[in-house]
Amino acid sequence: MIEIIPAIDIIDGKCVRLTQGDYDTKKVYEEDPLEVAKRFEAHGIRRLHTVDLDGAKAQHVVNYKTIERIADHTSLVIDFGGGIKSDEDIDVAFACGASMVTIGSVAVKKPALFEKWIEKYNDNKIILGADVKNGLISINGWMEEGEDELMPFLHRYVSKGVDNVLCTDISKDGMLQGPAVELYEEVMKEFPNLNLIASGGVSCIEDIDRLNESGIPAVVFGKAIYEGRIKLEELEKYVG
For 87-123, letters b (16+ CB in 10 Å) and e give eebbebbeebbbbbbbbbbbbbeeeebbbebbeeeee
Task: Find out whether 127 and 165 touch, Cβ atoms under 8 Å.
Answer: yes
Task: Find out whether 126 and 132 touch, Cβ atoms under 8 Å.
Answer: no
Asked if 54 is an active-site residue, the reply is no
Task: Find out whether 196 and 165 touch, Cβ atoms under 8 Å.
Answer: yes
Residues found in the chain = 240
Say which of 52, 54, 79, 131 is annotated catalytic. 131
C-alpha radius of gyration, the chain, whole number: 16
Task: Find out whether 220 and 5 touch, Cβ atoms under 8 Å.
Answer: yes
CB atoms under 10 Å from CB of 182, counted, come to: 10
Asked if 52 is an active-site residue, the reply is no
Q: Point out the residues that are catalytic.
A: 9, 131
